[in-house]
Amino acid sequence: MSFKNMSMPMRFVRAGLLLSGMACGSAEAFDLTWSGFGTLGYAQSDESVRYQRFIDNNGTVKRDTVFGAQVDARFSQQWGATLQAKVAPSDHRDNRWQASLAWAFLSWRPSDDWLIRAGKLRLPFMLNTENADVGATYDFVRLPQEVYSIAPTTDILGLSISKTWLGETYDWTAEAYTGSASTYWRYYGRDRTMSTSQPGSWFLPIDIRSTGLVLTARSLSHVFRIGYHEGESSRPGEKTRSDFQYGACPAAIPSQPCYNLAPGGVDKQRVPILTLGASVTLPQDFKLTGEFAKMRVSDSASRGLSRWGGYLALSRRIGSWVPYGYYAKVKSQGDALSLYQRIDANANVVHPAFQSYQHLVADLTTPYDQSTIAVGTSFWVTTNSVVKAEWSRVSTGVASSFVDAPQGGASGDRRFDVFSLSYGFTF
C-alpha cells in the first residue's frame, strides 16, 4: 500500500506505516501526518494611539500574523495524539515574538460517539475559538475581539470528554472539560504603570482553573452552540485587589482625596462565563452568524472585566469571494464604567502631582465600551489559501481597554478606521 504524499485538504506528508504488534496489541496502521498553517496580516489605522496592542497609523504586521505546524498521530482506530506549535507575538510582552505549544493532547475514541482528550487543549468557547489561529478556516480578517476576548484563557491543561448523538439532520455534541492554565492579563497605564512613571503595558501572571459544559448542534448548513464555563482565577503567591477606597492620596501633599486600591484582597475570584453562538445558512448562499458572551469576574478591582460582547455578521459566498459585514459591541457592567468615570474625573480635582496616579487607578478598572462596524471580503485563491481585506470603524464610548490611551488623554469618545489585509494558508 502506498499513500500519496500530496494529500487533502492540504499537502500532508503522510507516513503510512504498518507497524505490526504495536502498543495497541494488534496490527494497526500507525498514521502520522503533519501540516502547516500561517497568516501574514497587515493592519493600519488612522489613529496614532495603539489599538489591540499593535494597530496604529504606522501599520503593523504583529496583530494578525501567526505561523504554526500541527502533527497528528494515529496509533490505532481509537488512539491518537495531536501537537500544534505556533509562533506569534508574545502573550506577555508587546515587543517580543513567542513560540508556544497550542495543542498537545492524547485522544481516545472508544466508540463513534465518545471522544476523550487529555493534555493541552483549546476550549470550545466561541464557534471559532479552537481554530482561531488558522485564518484559512474562517472568512473574517480578524475574529471580532469584542466577543473573542471574553475568556480569561482559551487553553488549558486538562481533560475533555465529549459525547455525540447522531441525528437525522443534526449531530448533537455535549463536551465537558476541566483543567487549569497559567496565563497573563494585559494592563495599560496611559500615564504610568504600577512600577514605572512612564506610560506602558504590563502583564499580570494569572492562574486559571476552568470547568465547563458546551452543547453544539451541527448540520451541514447550520451550527448552534451554548456553553457555560465556571472559572476561578488567582494570582500566583499574591492576593488580588478587590476594591477601591476614597481617602488620602499616597503622599503628604495637600490635596483633595484620591481613589486608592483598598488594602488586602482576595485569594481567588469566581469567573462564570456564558457563551452562545449560531451560524445559519440562508437562501441564496447567505450566511448569518451571531455570537454572544458574558463574563463576570467577582471581587476584582478590575470590575470592567465583567462584560458582555456580541456580534452579528452577514456573509455570502459568490464563487471564490465571500463578502461580509458585521456589527460588534462590547460593554462592561454599568457600575464599572461609572466607577471609571468617577476616578478619571477625580484626576482633574486632585493635586496635579496625583493626576497620573489617578489615571492609573482609573485604568486599573479595565473598562470596555466600544462597537465596531466592519465590511470586508475573503477571496479563496485555492481551497487552502485565502486573501482577505477589511475596513472597520471603531467607536469607543466611555472608555475601551482595547485602546492604549495617549498620555494625559482618554480612550473614550473616539472614532477611527482600521484597514486590514491578510493572506492565510495551510499546506
Partner 1 sequence: MVGLGLGAGIAEEVWVVAHPSVQRIDRQTLQRIYTGRVLSIGGQAVLPVNLPPGNLVREEFLRLCLDQAEEQYTGYWLVRRYVGKGTPPPELLGVDEVIRHIQATPGAIGYLPASRAPRGVNVIFKP
The binding site for partner 1 (CB under 8 A) comprises: 1-4, 6-10, 12, 14, 16, 29, 31, 33, 35, 37, 70, 72, 74, 77-78, 80, 82, 84, 103, 105, 107, 109, 111-112, 115, 117, 121-122, 124, 130-131, 133-134, 136-137, 164, 166, 168, 171, 220, 380, 383-384, 426
* Residue carrying C-alpha cell 494585559: 186
Sequence-ordered list of residues with C-beta below 8 angstroms from that of 426, at least 6 positions apart, any chain: 9, 10, 35, 36, 37, 38, 134, 136, 384, 385
Q: Considering the complex, what minimum distance in angstroms separates the CB of residue 226 from partner 1?
A: 17
What is the rounded distance in angstroms from the CA atom of residue 253 to the CA atom of residue 386? Answer: 60
Q: Considering the complex, what minimum distance in angstroms separates the CB of residue 184 from partner 1?
A: 23
Query: Of the two residues 101 and 253, which places its CB atom closer to partner 1 in the complex?
Result: 101
Q: 248: number of CA atoms within 13 Å, CB side?
A: 5
Q: Considering the complex, what minimum distance in angstroms separates the CB of residue 280 from partner 1?
A: 16
Contact between residue 350 and residue 255 where contact means Cβ atoms under 8 Å apart? yes
What is the rounded distance in angstroms from the CA atom of residue 292 to the CA atom of residue 295? Answer: 10
Cell numbers linked to 6: 500530496
Q: Considering the complex, what minimum distance in angstroms separates the CB of residue 176 from partner 1?
A: 16
Query: Of the two residues 221 and 256, which places its CB atom closer to partner 1 in the complex?
Result: 221
What is the rounded distance in angstroms from the CA atom of residue 413 to the CA atom of residue 95? Answer: 28
Query: Of the two residues 44 and 131, which places its CB atom closer to partner 1 in the complex?
Result: 131
Peptide linkage before 263 cis (omega within 30 of 0): no
Q: ∠ CA(263), CA(265), CA(270), 5° rounding? A: 155
Cell numbers linked to 104: 498537545
What is the rounded distance in angstroms from the CA atom of residue 274 to the CA atom of residue 135? Answer: 25
Q: Considering the complex, what minimum distance in angstroms separates the CB of residue 169 from partner 1?
A: 10
Query: Of the two residues 143 and 394, which places its CB atom closer to partner 1 in the complex?
Result: 143
Query: Of the two residues 38 and 397, which places its CB atom closer to partner 1 in the complex?
Result: 38
CB atoms within 10 A of CB 34: 17
Q: Considering the complex, what minimum distance in angstroms separates the CB of residue 208 from partner 1?
A: 20
Contact between residue 328 and residue 372 where contact means Cβ atoms under 8 Å apart? yes
Query: Of the two residues 136 and 364, which places its CB atom closer to partner 1 in the complex?
Result: 136
Query: Of the two residues 107 and 183, which places its CB atom closer to partner 1 in the complex?
Result: 107
Cα dihedral 371, 377, 383, 387, rounded to 10, equals -90
Q: Classify 234 as helix, strand or coil.
A: strand
Q: Considering the complex, what minimum distance in angstroms separates the CB of residue 370 from partner 1?
A: 29
Q: Considering the complex, what minimum distance in angstroms separates the CB of residue 311 from partner 1?
A: 19
Q: Considering the complex, what minimum distance in angstroms separates the CB of residue 272 from partner 1?
A: 24
Query: Of the two residues 139 and 191, which places its CB atom closer to partner 1 in the complex?
Result: 139
DSSP, residue by residue, 358-376 = HHHHHHHT--EEEEEEEEE
Query: Of the two residues 15 and 375, which places its CB atom closer to partner 1 in the complex?
Result: 15
Query: Of the two residues 2 and 95, which places its CB atom closer to partner 1 in the complex?
Result: 2
Per-residue CA distances from 230 to 125, 156, 271 (Å):
12, 13, 6
Beta strands in 65-189 (DSSP E): 66-74, 79-89, 97-111, 114-122, 155-166, 171-189
Q: Considering the complex, what minimum distance in angstroms separates the CB of residue 271 from partner 1?
A: 23
